[in-house]
Chains A and B, each alone.
Chain A
Amino acid sequence: MAKRTDKNSYTIIFAIIMVLVVGSLLAGIAQGLRPKITENERFEKQQNILYAMGVNDNAGPGDVAFVPTDKVEESFNKYIKEQLVIQGDSVTEDSQAYLIDLKKEESLAKEDEDYKRRLPLFVGEKDGKTMYIIPMRGKGLWDAIWGFVAVDKDFVVQGVYFDHKGETPGLGANIKERYFMDDFEGEQVMDGDVFKGIDVAKGNNDPTNERKDDQKVDALAGATITGNGVTAMIKKDMALYVPYIEKLNTQQ
């Protein structure tokens, strides 16, 4: 006689019950943990933005230390004076601007040519200096890369933060290391009146980055495509904000 568990009806019933049990278990866990996870993601964005404008807990020369999670909300409110959303010609203030999903905006703009992307821009003030923190998103070698670049009104970079989803550890993943990010500080993104961005350049004659007006930083060895991704990301996304910041300057 065949075993009970070999019957077709048993197999089907087992499969159905298993799927129901596992499915509801996972759904339950996901639902239960969702608020905590969204909060973590929200804090992370605030930490990243603050890091780019130089508000961080770095102690040693190699540290990338954010403002601790329990204090980030407070610091964010203290240092970020305005959160703007630029959409076409209209500029509105929105305290949730940092939660705008760049990826979604990008794909909306791609699908519909008439769609005006919502561009979040953060105006921060640190030690009496106003800076504009620009979020950006691009493509690395394996997956998405993103970051925040803080510039002052003369388009001099005040600080950056880069992150990635899955670049090669030890190579492309080093875009979030201090020695790469710190190179951007003080770089001028404009060449005269023309927006040039910052080139992550190989064979750069200036590896210690003495020249700040050449729109170049030294590339990471073994991470050509990730580096090119950073270059392209800065060029593409920062360009969207240049007219607005220029307009602000002429108004003053």
Chain B
Amino acid sequence: MGLLSKKDSKLILDPLADNNPITIQVLGICSALAITAQLKASIVMAVSVIVVLGVGNVVISLMRNIIPSKIRIIVQLVIVAALVIMVDQVLKAFAYELSKQLSVFIGLIITNCIIMGRFEAFALGNNPWRSFLDGIGNAAGYGLILVIVGFFRELLGSGTLLGFKVLGDPIEQTGLYSIGYENNGFMLLSPMALIVIGLIIWVQRARNKDLIEE
């Protein structure tokens, strides 16, 4: 890639697979369980986290030499909380419908361990451009898992994708339902998200033996 040096593109690509925040670092699990019952919510959560983490990492990185180390965690919290509130307010003013569907999820971004983790582990020690790439990469890695989990949960749990009835209509008994297929309501509950994530971790480690711990 001409735009990014090899080292820089590694910052973006690594968290997508071999250093994925959810499946390898096991961060951000709570929100991955809570909001993946529908694909749409997963996608919007992924986009919001990309925005917040990308901007947040840059802000922290710009301030990294003036932040007093004794209160750095508090500073990080204040910055992420402020960003999240801004996103929330802007959505409420300009995309009211969307913000209504997401109200709880937007607030949940603050509690996402990936954000504080990247601030602490990366942005405090790197320049803004690299921090930005790292933020985007990690948030995208998180978002990727969210979308995969959301896809399977909505498809198998509700028989829809983004609200479209892709498997036919369960009430009218059309499509797959006409041959006796049933939605699995269990997929809509959080435990199934954990199991789906477990399966993803299994697949990933089976394909790449380097990831298996001794």
Contact = CB atoms under 8 A, between A and B. Distances in A.
Interface string A69-99: 0000000000000000000000000000000
B69 A6 contact: yes
Interface residues of A, number: 29
Interface stretch (B11-19, B82-90, B129-137): B82-90
Interface stretch (B92-100, B109-117, B204-212): B92-100
B78 interface: yes
B106 to A, nearest CB: 12
Contacts of B154: 170
Contacts of A166: 103-104
Interface of B: 35, 37-38, 41, 65-71, 74-75, 78-79, 82, 85-86, 89-90, 92-94, 96, 100, 103-104, 154, 157-158, 165, 171, 185, 188
30 contacts: A5-B67, A5-B69, A14-B67, A14-B68, A18-B75, A18-B78, A22-B78, A25-B82, A26-B82, A29-B85, A29-B90, A36-B94, A37-B89, A37-B96, A40-B92, A40-B93, A41-B96, A44-B96, A44-B100, A62-B165, A165-B103, A166-B103, A166-B104, A168-B37, A169-B35, A169-B38, A170-B37, A170-B38, A170-B154, A171-B188
Contact of A5 (B68, B90, B94, B157): B68
Contact of B71 (A11, A25, A30, A33): A11
A208 to B, nearest CB: 9
A19 B69 CA distance: 17
Contacts, number: 74
A19 B75 CA distance: 9
Contacts of B94: 36
A15 interface: yes
Contacts of A243: none
Nearest to A33: B93
B15 to A, nearest CB: 27
Given A5-B66, A40-B92, A40-B96, A169 B85 contact: no
Contacts of B69: 5-6
B82 A6 contact: no
Contacts of A115: none
Interface string A208-233: 00000000000001100000000000
Given A14-B66, A171-B188, A33 B89 contact: yes
A244 interface: no
Which are the 6 A-B pairs with shortest beta-carbon distances?
A40-B96, A170-B188, A11-B68, A36-B93, A33-B93, A169-B37
A169 B39 CA distance: 11
A19 B89 CA distance: 19
Interface string A1-35: 00001100011001100110010011001100100
Interface string A151-187: 0000000000000011011110000000100000000
Contacts of B86: 26, 29
Contact of B185 (A22, A26, A29, A221): A221
A192 to B, nearest CB: 33
Contacts of A5: 65-69
A168 B188 CA distance: 9
Contacts of B35: 169
Nearest to A19: B78
Residue in A15, A25, A170, A221 with the greatest tally of chain B CB atoms within 10 Å: A170
B166 to A, nearest CB: 13
Nearest to B171: A179
Interface in A112-154: none
